Amino acid sequence: MYLLKFGYDGTKFDSFSFEKNRYTVLGEILKILKEYNISDNVYTSSRTDRNVSAIGNVIGIISSDNINKIMGILNSKTKYMLFHSYAIVENDFKPRYAKERWYRYFLFNRNFNIDEMEKKATQFIGEHDFSNFSRKDERKSVRKIFKIEIKSDDDFIIIDVRGQSFLWNMVRRIIGFLAYGEGDPYSNVSRYIVPAENLVLMDVIYDFNFKTLPVNKNFLKDYWKIRTSLFIYREFNKISEGRWGIEPQ
- Name the residues annotated as catalytic: 49
The CA distance from 65 to 94, in Å, is: 20
Given phi > 0 = left and psi -120 to 50 = alpha, else beta, which region is 204?
Answer: beta
Query: Which residue in 82, 60, 76 sits closest to 6, CA to CA?
Result: 82
Q: DSSP letter at 246?
A: P
Residues 6+ apart with CB under 8 A from 111: none
Query: What is the spatial distance between Cα 123 and Cα 199, in angstroms, rounded to a whole number?
Result: 21
| CB atoms closer than 10 angstroms to residue 125 | 13
Query: What angle (nearest 5°) sits at the alpha carbon of residue 222, between those of residues 11 and 175?
Result: 30
